[in-house]
Amino acid sequence: MMRIFMFALFFGGMALAAGCGSGNQSDREEGLISDTEKHRRMKAEIDSLEQIIYDDDFAFDPEMVSDLKQRYEKFAQRFGGDEEKSAEYLYKAGALSRALGMPTEGVKIYRRLLTKFSGYARAPEVQFLIAFTYDEDLNEKELAEEAYNEVINKFPGDHWALQAERRLETLYMTDEEMVRFFMERNRVEDQ
């Protein structure tokens, strides 16, 4: 009798475990479907906001732009596996931070982009934008110099490295010195 009880307990437990296992599988599949649907919905919401904000007739609405920036960041955080879209959204979030008058936030986002998506096609431009933001928006010339040099060292020969070299030539000049510098350069080029 004890053997029958143990036998029934053993196989009953196996059947229960198998049943639970398939339930977990179903739950996981449901989670995948939900993530796929959430991914699709978030992209659709972002696309809709972009159409409104980037419409030629749109008057700059900081709340709406801030909402779009947050959606970009949330998408990149949640769906980092979609590297192409996540990197592009972080790029746009950095630009919107600057447009919203939050250049320090923009630099942080750009740095996060370069850390998470080092192979991003626009990486040289993003590195340049970090330097440019330090230079123009934050007036942090030493940090700008370091960041411009980083563009040059990481991406030698790239268009953005050449732009960084040009920015370094005038980084510490006053407006009057820059005018003289460019007048002299144009005079030499005209000869």
DSSP state of 135: I
Summarised one tens digit per residue, pLDDT across range 73-99 is: 999 999 999 999 999 999 999 999 999
- Tell me the chain's radius of gyration from C-alpha atoms: 27
Amino acid at 67: D
Q: Is 108 exposed, middle or buried (0-12, 13-18, 19+ CB in 10 A)?
A: middle
Residue 182 — pLDDT band, cuts 50, 70, 90? confident
pLDDT, tens digit, 9 for 90 and up, residues 40-85: 999 999 999 999 888 867 678 899 999 999 999 999 999 999 999 9
Say how many CA atoms lie within 13 Å of 161 toward its Cβ: 10
pTM above 0.75, yes or no: yes
Q: Across all residues in the chain, what is the average pLDDT?
A: 85
